[in-house]
Structure 1
Amino acid sequence: MGVGVEKNNVKCELIISGGTVLTMTPESEPLPDGAVAVTSGEIVEVGGAADLLGKYRPARVLDAGGGIILPGFVNTHTHLAMTLLRGLADDLPLIEWLEKHIWPTERVLMNAEMVMLGTRLAAAESLQAGVTCVCDMYFHAERVIETVVAAGLRAVVPEAMIDFATPSSATPEDALAVQRDLLERYRSHPLVVPAVAPHSPYTVSAAHLAREAELAEEFGAPLIIHLAETRWEAEKIKSEKGVSPVAYLADLGILSERTVAAHCVHVTEEDLGLLAELEVGVATNPVSNLKLSSGVAPVPQMLELGIKVGFGTDGAASNNTLDLLRDAQLASLLYKGLTGDPTRMQARTIVEMLTIGGAKVLGLSDRIGTLEAGKRADVVCFALDHPRSVPVYDPYSHMAYAARSSDARHVVVDGRVVVQDRALIDTDVDSLLDDVREAATRARELLAT
């Protein structure tokens, strides 16, 4: 006869209990009155609350209050520091928005101090919305890393490259040097995944794209790039290269299973075949694409082909929030309306794309995206304490159609409680908002000169 575990004999640091657990593992069913046990930032067991509370002696119990316990959301594409540019220029097409407003403003405004402030604001907004992992794409990457780590936010962080001077790199060669340094120093960091990020096929030369791909290959790192976002881009690349943006990057050898391709709106059937064949991950940004009138990505077709797809918000300058749940819910309704098929983008699919789908896009599905033993403890508890929150017959349906990001009651990243009872634990929000308002006043004065 085997030796049983004595009641309350196993120590653990944290048990999250008091709710219905959605593990998001394949074919899993909701687990009513479930719990998640955590030690050293790792999930050690998921099961019934009575069983786990009887087996373990936790240092702390986090009560979900009868809500829904699920993996933290993964924002597969954003520009964190651009929260400081929220509302700066709206109701414009992408190229005019970039060339006449965003890039000129970034050159004079987004120094290292401002990038840190914008990133602090973005981290606070993201965590309070249930987002536990982001894929950034911006400048002053060292400062971004410092800021997200302090906030307790998991992140993929590159130094972005463009073929002209950026706020942090005078030349593409400077950006490459920063990327290599980050890849060497942060390759084993518990929260940060360093990456490379050529901006797009129309802002980075073929030679520099190739060097970026070589660097990503050398370190086994993600390569993040905007791809096929607008009709203008598709027509420009077609006229100059004779092929679509996707085919152009495929011909250059840029695309692989480590590529995170943001947008992929203007893609052909042949392009979709290439994305599937090369195992590219797609970060779809439905609200930003709609706001900039860039179009609608063929996400249902991508999913049918087995392409990895996760949701992204893009930057707050083109969204204008980092509310990933809102964006995912809108996407579900958008595709139902466009196709006339109410079975498209079903509730569980939406929740999968927010969690394990996003983790797969970023190459992090071995660490996050599901609640199971051995994974890192990135967990969010959504409250059911609002009149619109009851009754709940199907928790997947509730998350896809009724929940709001403001319902994120508790948020845990790598076993660390960063939001409790909707409040950020380690961030003085009032002070942060004052700092942002003061920076915005300085920005207006600077831009007026």
Structure 2
Amino acid sequence: MQKNYWGNEFMIWIQNLDYLIQDAERVLCGADLLIDGDRIVAVGTVDPAQAGNAEIISGEGKIAMPGFVNTHTHLYQNMLKGMGDGLRLKPWCEQVTFPFASIIHKEERETDEPKLGYHWAALGAMEMVRSGITSFVDMDIVQDGVLQAWQDIGVRGNLALQLVNKWVPKELMVPDEVRKKKALDIIERWHKNGKLTVSLAPSTPFACTPEFLMWIRDTAKERNLEIFIHISETKWEVEQAKDETGNTPFGYLEEMGFFERPVHAVHCVCVEPEDIEIMKKRKLDVIYNPKSNAKLGSGIAPIGTYLKQGIPVAVSTDGAASNDSLDMFEEMRFGQLLQKASAQNPLEVSVEDMFNMATKEGAKMMNIDAGVLEEGKLADLVLLDDRGVHMQPINGVLQTVFYCAKSSDVDTVIIGGDMVMQDKQFVTVDETGIIDSAVGLSNKAKAQVGKKLDADF
């Protein structure tokens, strides 16, 4: 018997599931699933001798599926829901996110107070768990409290450490050497720390000097870290890049050699044919954020084109300030329907394609052995209650989950063999207590932001 993340010898035997979705192409009926430590060791039929004294969970009235992988979000924005509608990306940054970020990050840096970071991270992580998300990438300037919250809840998180030295609120400006030193310190302490990993994230090509971009590339190569970057999110960004460099954002980074190490490209809404050729040549992949791109009026990423060109795609929620939700059921459904409507083609992006983007493709981008329910894979999975009226009758299992399921159907969430939520209740943290504290801290921070909205960036 293996040990799980918490160091316990622990097996879980889920019996008699209505359905078990291994991936978009494989669905079993009346199946069992056995977890030993942090891995799945049997799927379909389980030998009682192998299960030993495993904890038994009834799968009746349940559908098991791989946990969703949210490859791009900004958890601090959970404090900014319901704000800033009707703004395009640049004014939205300047009027909504920058004032808040400048207050909260400056305050925590100067006081070494982890409470606010802990609570925004916990709030976002709990919402994601309730949406069936078991793994995620959070792009942010970070405090230890953020990562501690992830550990306490038991989620699998990647900190995409946001590194910028241009277009930054003045309160957050520090010398490059200070940024580099802090980044290396976080990598040393938190990368591969339990379920947590660290990656590097130059926010955009033009939020960093060329020298800083090269340092990020080289550091990622030396330490075998992933790189995430917002790129070609808006028409304005592309036009600005052409004015300043004579090239598209993709062309600019290709010319300087930034793509010598593969990069995860977030958004990719406004691209040109030569950009797609660069993406193919450099084996880049795309992270699709349909609701955020729609809310900010940025456009619709050409996902069907990427798939036809063999470019891998994952789907994600982006931050709650430009989405107002971290619900992957909503995200993949909206994202797929948007592609059909914009192409005027019901076959443009299939249910199977989009489900894989939300599971196995995201797992590949996070470099984790998950996203599929099969023997040997990490035990990151979700049990859905399939008895709601909106789920009945179940004809095509995958289509029913895709088009009908809601976050409220998520009953149980297991991450790395650890029970994080069971019977719709968190077993690792006090959800109500965290929410109450988070609201109080958020109100205090927003009161300070209200005094700073005329800040000079």
Q: How does 1:337-348 map to 2 (within 5 A)?
A: 337-348=341-352
In structure 1, distance between residues paired with 2:304 and 2:261: 20
Select 1:83's aligned residue among 34, 57, 78: 78
Q: Which residue of 2 aligns with 1:408?
A: 410
The answer to whether the aligner puts 1:315 opposite 2:312 as a matched pair is no
Amino acid at match of 2:352: R
Distance 1:381 1:169 in 2: 45
**1:407 Cα deviation after fit:** 0.9
How far does residue 358 in structure 1 lie from its aligned partner after superposition? Answer: 0.9
CA pair 287-257 structure 1, distance change in 2 beyond 3 A: farther
Q: 1:207 aligns with which of 206, 211, 215?
A: 211
For residues 172 and 43 of structure 1, the distance between their equivalents in structure 2, rounded to whole angstroms, comes to 44
Supply the distance in 2 between the matched residues of 1:448 and 1:249 (Cα, whole angstroms).
37
Task: State the shift of 1:172 in Å.
Answer: 3.4
Match of 1:118 among 95, 117, 120: 120
- Give the secondary-structure state (helix, strand or coil) at the position aligned to 1:317: coil
Unpaired segments of 5 or more residues in structure 2? 1-8, 109-113, 452-457
Post-superposition offset of 1:42: 1.1
Aligned partners of 1:309 and 1:361 also within 8 Å: no
Specify the alignment match of 2:88 in structure 1.
93
C-alpha distance 375-168 of structure 1, shift in aligned 2 (>3 A)? farther
| Aligned-pair CA distance for 1:173 | 2.8
Distance 1:437 1:80 in 2: 15
| Amino acid across the alignment from 1:433 | I
Give the one of 362, 368, 374 matched to 1:372: 374
* Identity among equivalent pairs (%): 28
Matching residue of 1:134: 136
Is residue 2:303 matched to residue 1:299?
Answer: yes
What is the DSSP-based 3-state SS (H/G/I as helix, E as strand, rest coil) of the residue aligned with 1:156?
strand
Contact 2:118 2:147 (C-alpha < 8 Å) held by counterparts: no
Partner of 2:21: 22
| 2: CA distance, partners of 1:447 / 1:92 | 18
What amino acid is the match of 1:33? Answer: G
Task: Give TM-score scaled by structure 2 length.
Answer: 0.90
The alpha-carbon distance between structure 1 residues 384 and 54, as it changes in their structure 2 partners (threshold 3 A), is farther
Does residue 36 (structure 1) correspond to residue 33 (structure 2)? The answer is yes
Q: How far apart are residue 261 of structure 1 and its match?
A: 1.3
Q: Please report how far the alpha carbon of residue 169 of structure 1 lies from its aligned counterpart in structure 2 after TM superposition.
A: 6.8
Match in the other structure for 2:386: 384
- 1:427 corresponds to which residue? 429
Q: In 2 relative to 1, CA 52–283 (structure 1 residues): closer, same or farther, beyond 3 Å?
A: farther
Residue pairs, 1:348-367, within 5 angstroms: 348-364=352-368, 367=369
> Which residue number in structure 2 is paired with residue 399 of structure 1?
401
Structure-to-structure mapping, 1:127-276, within 5 angstroms: 127-164=129-166, 170-255=174-259, 258-276=262-280
Change (3 A) 1:136 1:63: same
Aligned partners of 2:383, 2:261: CA distance in 1, in Å?
A: 31
Deviates more, 1:111-120 or 1:126-135: 111-120
- Mapped to 2, the partners of 1:229 and 1:172 lie a distance apart of 26
TM-score, with structure 1 as normaliser: 0.92
Q: Cα distance 1:323–1:425, how it changes in 2: closer, same or farther (>3 A)?
A: same
Q: Distance in 1 between matches of 2:189 and 2:272?
A: 39
CA RMSD of aligned residues (A): 1.9
Query: How many Å separate the matches in 2 of 1:433 and 1:29?
Result: 38
- Once structures 1 and 2 are overlaid, which stretch shifts more, 172-181 or 196-205? 172-181
Aligned twin of 2:454: none
* Equivalent pair of 1:265/1:298 in contact (CA under 8 Å): yes
- Pick from 73, 84, 92 the counterpart of residue 68 of structure 2: 73
CA offset digits 1:399-441 (Å, max 9, x no partner): 2211112111110000001111111112222212211221232
Within 1, Cα distance between the matches of 2:47 and 2:425? 27
Contact preservation (8 Å) 1:23, 1:370 = yes
Whether contact under 8 Å (1:157, 1:195) holds in the other structure is yes
| Residues in 1 aligned to 2:173 and 2:44: alpha-carbon distance in whole angstroms | 49
**Partners in 2 of 1:68 and 1:377 — Cα distance?**
15
Letter in 1 for 2:15: S
